Amino acid sequence: MLIAVISDVHGNLAALNAVMDEISSLTPDHVVNLGDLVSGPFDPRGSAERQMTSGYLTIAGNHERQLVERVQGDLDDLARPLLSDEQLAWIAHLPQTLTLDDGRVFACHGSPAGGDMDYLLEDVRSGKAVLDDSESILPKLDGIGGAQVVLCGHTHTQRIAKIGGTLVVNPGSVGMPGYRVDQILPHVIEAGSPLARFAIIERRNGDWSAQLHAIPYHTEIPARQAEAFGFPDIAHCVRTGRVQAD
């Protein structure tokens, strides 16, 4: 059983195309898309169409919920009027979680217990994302049933961790390698490079392995799109993998 995992495309069609081509060459049994699909200053409509027709097993992230509930936010407010009614309807009917491989794999956007805004693996109290301790992570895994693997996104941070007997995999972000949060616990997420990211998990003889992938693509396409929409800070991030200093 070979499963490819993507997350946090954020409307970056150029990155998505590169990742989808790479995944196709690996011929996985399934591809799982963990949400935050279109909200970004790139190509929301084009990326929505590509993801709708991909055949991937897709769940909603916090930005899908915010699009549907009309929560105000720069990226959602930008994307919403650019999407077709059909695309918005598709987004509105996406599930929040899914299981596959007879319940061995549980997929969510944030965390199983904490919902789509929860950071499962990361502690950001220092202002940067670091791996949290196992004791803090374990309660967030409530509700996974007998799953051996948990797939999560949201933090745009590629990571593989073994928590108790559960393998937890975050594939990182396809289309947005960093961001800044200024509210509650201010922090910065930075991938450190502009590469487009995804993961592969594989079950062989009852054991699971995981691989993190990061591939190059033509970052000038989304960078110029972000600049055209008036987001020079995001343009800088997709070019460099770093968040622009204040």
Number of structural domains, the chain? 1
Q: What is the pLDDT of residues 28-77, one digit of tens each?
A: 999 999 999 999 999 999 999 999 999 999 999 999 999 999 999 999 99
Local confidence band at 224 (pLDDT 50, 70, 90 cut-offs): very high
Q: Is 68 domain-assigned?
A: yes
Q: Is 246 domain-assigned?
A: no
pLDDT at 246 over 80: no
pLDDT at 81 over 90: yes
Specify the pLDDT at position 112.
98
Question: Does residue 127 contact residue 187 with C-beta atoms inside 8 Å?
Answer: yes
Q: Is 209 domain-assigned?
A: yes
Q: What is the pLDDT of residues 112-127, one digit of tens each?
A: 999 999 999 999 999 9
Q: Is 156 domain-assigned?
A: yes
Specify the pLDDT at position 184.
86
Instruction: Tell me how far apart the alpha carbons of residues 131 and 19 are, in angstroms, rounded to a whole number.
Output: 26
Query: What is the percent of the chain where pLDDT is above 70?
Result: 100
Mean pLDDT of 215-227: 98
- What are the C-alpha distances in Å from 20 to residues 120, 185, 246? 26, 34, 34
pTM given for the model? 0.97
Mean pLDDT of 135-163: 98
Q: Is 245 domain-assigned?
A: no
**DSSP count for the chain of H helices, then E strands:** 8, 14
Local confidence band at 217 (pLDDT 50, 70, 90 cut-offs): very high
Mean pLDDT of 141-148: 97
Q: What is the pLDDT of residues 179-194, one digit of tens each?
A: 999 988 999 999 999 9
Query: What is the percent of the chain where pLDDT is above 90?
Result: 98
Strand-pairing partners, residue 150, are: 106, 168
Domain limits for position 70: 2-240
Specify the pLDDT at position 245.
81
Specify the pLDDT at position 223.
98
* Residue 26, amino acid: L
Q: Residue 211: which CATH number? A: 3.60.21.10
**Which residues touch 201 (CB under 8 Å, ≥6 apart)?**
2, 3, 5, 105, 149, 151, 167, 169, 208, 209, 210, 211
Instruction: Tell me how far apart the alpha carbons of residues 112 and 154 are, in angstroms, rounded to a whole number.
Output: 12
Mean pLDDT of 75-103: 98
Q: Is 231 domain-assigned?
A: yes
Average pLDDT, the chain: 97
Name the phi and psi angles at 114, rounded to 5.
-100, -5
Q: Is 64 domain-assigned?
A: yes
Q: And the tokens for 218?
A: 């033509």
Q: Is 219 domain-assigned?
A: yes
pLDDT at 203 over 80: yes
Identify the H or E element spanning 168: strand 166-170
Specify the pLDDT at position 152.
98
SS (H, E, C) 56-86: CEECCCHHHHHHHHCCCCHHHHHHHHHCCHH
Instruction: Tell me how far apart the alpha carbons of residues 5 and 175 are, in angstroms, rounded to a whole number.
Output: 14
